[in-house]
Amino acid sequence: MMADEQVAHFIGGVQVRAIAWRHFMTMAGAWHMHGFAMFSVIEKATGRWVGRLGPWYPEGWPGTEVGWAIIRDRWGRGYATEGTAAAMDWAFDTLGWTEVIHSIAPDNTVSQIVASKLGARNRGPGRLPAPFDNARVDIWSQSREHWRAQRGRSAPGISR
């Protein structure tokens, strides 16, 4: 995924395998340090790893984020939207988050469509911490209450 220029463009750029592996291990470390990080997306039919998505909140981040990245040959199949929806349920219900953001580059129209489908709204320009502070991002967000209302849920695990 990180060797594909089109996929990696908005998530840090192309990386050689050794650097991509270090970032992969960062996710594993976040699970141990914070009790959460992004999940691997595994395609049921093939058992193939096709991306990552889920909660992400490193030091200095502009908010509690649920993000996504899917390999290009699996775009358009609903993995990002459906998987992120499940991850948002988990972040709100299990982690107790009150808001979720998605930091999206202004020219990343594909991710803007996913965020819109999830019910998020563009709140305007945001700032990532160094060394990403020169990257232009908009902060898309929604509250736990808005998320539950649009999903038809009033409380964790209770359907209307």
The DSSP call for residue 98 is: S
pLDDT at 20: 65
Report the range of poorest mean pLDDT among 21-25, 47-51, 71-75.
Answer: 21-25
| CATH number of the domain within which 133 lies | 3.40.630.30
Let me know if residue 44 belongs to a domain.
yes
Could you tell me the pLDDT band of residue 159, with boundaries at 50, 70 and 90?
Answer: very low
Q: In whole numbers, what is the pLDDT of the chain averaged over residues?
A: 87
The pLDDT tens digits of the residues spanning 109-151 come to 999 999 999 999 999 999 999 988 999 999 999 999 999 999 8
Give me the domain span that covers residue 108. Answer: 39-159
How many domains would you assign to the chain? 1
Let me know if residue 15 belongs to a domain.
no
Let me know if residue 31 belongs to a domain.
no
Let me know if residue 11 belongs to a domain.
no
The pLDDT tens digits of the residues spanning 57-93 come to 999 999 999 999 998 899 999 999 999 999 999 999 9
Q: How far apart are CA 60 and CA 126, in angstroms?
A: 12
- Angle between helix 79-93 and helix 144-151 axes, rounded to 10 deg: 120
Q: Say which residue, 16 or 130, is predicted with more confidence.
A: 130
> Which residues, at least 6 apart from 85, have a Cβ–Cβ distance to it below 8 Å?
118, 151
Q: Do 29 and 59 touch, CB atoms closer than 8 A?
A: no
Could you tell me the pLDDT band of residue 28, with boundaries at 50, 70 and 90?
Answer: confident
Let me know if residue 9 belongs to a domain.
no
- Percent pLDDT > 70 in the chain is 81
Let me know if residue 5 belongs to a domain.
no
Q: Do 61 and 67 touch, CB atoms closer than 8 A?
A: no
